[in-house]
Amino acid sequence: MTKDLLGAKKALGESVRNLTKQLEGASISGSGSGGDLSKGNGAASSNDTEAKGDAGDTTEAKSGAGDATEEAKNGEEKGAKGGDKKDDRKDIKFLSTMAKAMKAMKAMKAMKAMKAMKKKSVSKIAKGRFSKVVVFRGTKAKTAGGLSKGDLVKNKNGKIVSKKSLAHGKKAYSNIKTWTVAVQKARKALGLKGFVAIKKGTPFYKKAKEFYQ
């Protein structure tokens, strides 16, 4: 009897051990699966947070890009406005200069028309160095002194002079003509050449005096 009881106790102990082992294995497997689930949940939550962060970054990038585009648009608008103002100023200056030029051209045309309408009156009075020559040719009517073509004559040297001045010169020369002729004869008699002064007491003077008397 005692042997049978001992064998039953041993069998019960082994069955209890097996059950405890099985229970421990089941608890370990359950805890492992729970850990996996927790790990899975943690990974999913981390992925969600990363996705949310990426979405925030994209929104921030979009907002930054929008700000940059708005600033660029504002800069372009300001540059375009400044360029338009400069162009307007240049256009205004160009138009003002063109208007002045047109006014000057109109004034010049008016002056030319007035000059063309006026009769070009050519003066009949000769002035200047060759006034007597011009009148003697018949181009002008008279000189500034009032000499006409009938008052002018050409002398033996070919110069155009007035008749009065020519007569006055001839009259003045008649007073010294005899002396000049006497001097010429004395030079020829003495055989003189070139300039020789006539002084009192010299043979040249005495010879000229003889011919003069």
* Inside any domain, residue 92: no
Rounded to two decimals, the pTM is 0.39
Other beta carbons within 10 angstroms of residue 135's beta carbon come to: 23
Nearest to 98 by CA among 168, 106, 186: 106
Indicate whether 157 and 180 sit together in one domain. Answer: no
pLDDT of residue 176: 94
**Domain limits for position 192:** 176-213
Beta bridge partners of 162: 152
User: 155 and 130 in one domain?
Assistant: yes
Dist CA 135 CA 174 (whole Å): 30
Residue 180 within any structural domain of the chain = yes
pLDDT of residue 109: 85
pLDDT at 169: 94
Phi/psi at 190 (5° precision): -85, -10
Q: What's the pLDDT score for residue 41? A: 41
Model pLDDT, residue 10: 65
Which parts of the chain have pLDDT scores under 70?
1-13, 15-16, 19-87, 119
Q: Which two tokens stand for residue 119?
A: 């009769």
Does the residue 75 lie in any domain? Answer: no
Q: 147 in a domain, yes or no? A: yes
Q: Is residue 79 part of a domain?
A: no
Q: Give me the number of domains the chain comprises.
A: 2
Distance CA 149, CA 54 (A): 118
**From CA 190, how far away is CA 196, in angstroms rounded?**
11
Answer yes or no: is 101 within a domain: no
Same domain, 157 and 183: no
Note whether residue 188 is domain-resident: yes
Does residue 65 belong to any structural domain of this protein? no
CA distance 85 to 92: 10
Using alpha carbons, select from 139, 170, 169, 133 the residue that is nearest to residue 152.
133
Which pLDDT value is given to residue 15?
67
